[in-house]
Amino acid sequence: MTLNQKIRNLQPTDIVFIIAAIICLAPFISSPIALILGFTLASFGFVPTQFNLAALTKKLLSYSIIGLGFGINLNEAIEASRQGLGLIISSIFFTLFLGWLATHFLKLDKKTGHLIAAGTAICGGSAIAAVSPAINARDDQTSLALATVFVLNAVALFLFPAVGHLLEMSQHAFGTWAAIAIHDTSSVVGAAGSYGDEALKTATTLKLARALWIIPVAFGSALMFKGDSKKITIPYFILFYCLAILIAHFVPQFHSTYILIFDASKRLLVVCLFLIGSGITVSKLRNAGHKPLLLGVILWLAIGTASLTYIELFL
């Protein structure tokens, strides 16, 4: 079916969904509201089935992250990465080790547990998508891990800004915490963006530095489970994000244009969270099961609490 045919076959419910997505571009719609709106429409069957929304979301998220790079100061990005490198590395290894330990203790399927640990340690669904083929995980194992991370990402979008304001965290401190303790890049940027622009810039920089660890962790996972390292997917949008930062730094005469791209990318990210919310259904929440979700919560609380303690004491 061609795109024109898909458009002609749109139902009234599909049109409502599209209008809601467009409204999410408006500045009065925040990331949490967009997520709830998407989930609500999905619950009432308003999500179009003729479009591959998962693929669309992935592309839009990549574009929005690249666009955010035009608003990042190169020197600040280098400094933030330098300061946060130790925290990133230690949090990844701590989470993976704790995940292995908790998986054994809960008697959970090893591959499912490893996928949840990898998603928590690095960048949620992207890490799971990269590691899954490398360890030859079954579809049901991958789906359980994705559903678990999906649920916790949705909670993080509301919980983290509330805790940050309660503790009166600085913009830099909150951005660092969000980058370390929230799974998916979309939720990291959504939570940090609702906290403030400085938090957003810090969180985006550190989160993408953390996301680069997808590659070594995927290779290590392939060796651990005797999988196929040739199936590892590399998140190339991170390289384009870095390129955007370099362009903004070395070609400063277009600064006003870069700010427009940065602001537009923030709004596009809200649309991405709307689309992500539309992919969350009650059935997916049920299918997550209590053991995978329990493992996800244990890892999330551990890394969230440990990183928050470190940040409050040393940043």
Quick: pLDDT tens for 38-95. Answer: 989 988 889 888 778 888 888 898 898 899 989 988 888 888 778 888 999 999 999 9
Average pLDDT, the chain: 88
HEC assignment per residue over the chain? CCHHHHHHCCCHHHHHHHHHHHHCCCCCCCHHHHHHHHHHHHHCCCCCCCCCHHHHHHHHHHHHHHHHHHHCCHHHHHHHHHHHHHHHHHHHHHHHHHHHHHHHHHCCCHHHHHHHHHHHHCCHHHHHHHHHHHCCCCHHHHHHHHHHHHHHHHHHHHHHHHHHHHCCCCHHHHHHHHHHHCCCHHHHHHHHHHHCHHHHHHHHHHHHHHHCCHHHHHHHHHHHCCCCHHHCCCCCHHHHHHHHHHHHHHCHHHHHHHHHHHHHHHHHHHHHHHHHHHCCCHHHHHHCCHHHHHHHHHHHHHHHHHHHHHHHHHC
Range among 106-110, 124-128, 142-146 rated most confident: 106-110
The answer to whether residue 282 scores a pLDDT higher than 80 is no
Mean pLDDT computed over 305-312: 95
| Overall domain count for the chain | 1
pLDDT band of residue 3 (cuts 50, 70, 90) is: low
Decide which of 229 and 291 is more confident.
Answer: 291
Which among 203, 147, 168 is positioned nearest to 31, based on CA atoms? 203
Q: What is the token pair recorded at 205?
A: 């920089």
pLDDT for the residue 211: 87
pLDDT for the residue 231: 66
> Per-residue pLDDT tens for 170-197?
999 999 999 999 998 889 999 999 999 9
pLDDT for the residue 312: 92
Query: Which residue range is the domain that position 279 belongs to?
Result: 3-314
Which among 85, 38, 87, 86 is positioned nearest to 60, based on CA atoms? 38
pLDDT for the residue 168: 96
R_g of the chain computed on alpha carbons = 19
Mean pLDDT computed over 98-110: 95
> Per-residue pLDDT tens for 191-218?
999 999 999 999 999 998 888 888 889 8
The answer to whether residue 37 scores a pLDDT higher than 70 is yes
pLDDT for the residue 1: 57
The proportion of the chain whose per-residue pLDDT surpasses 90, expressed as a percent, equals 48
pLDDT for the residue 284: 66
pLDDT for the residue 241: 87
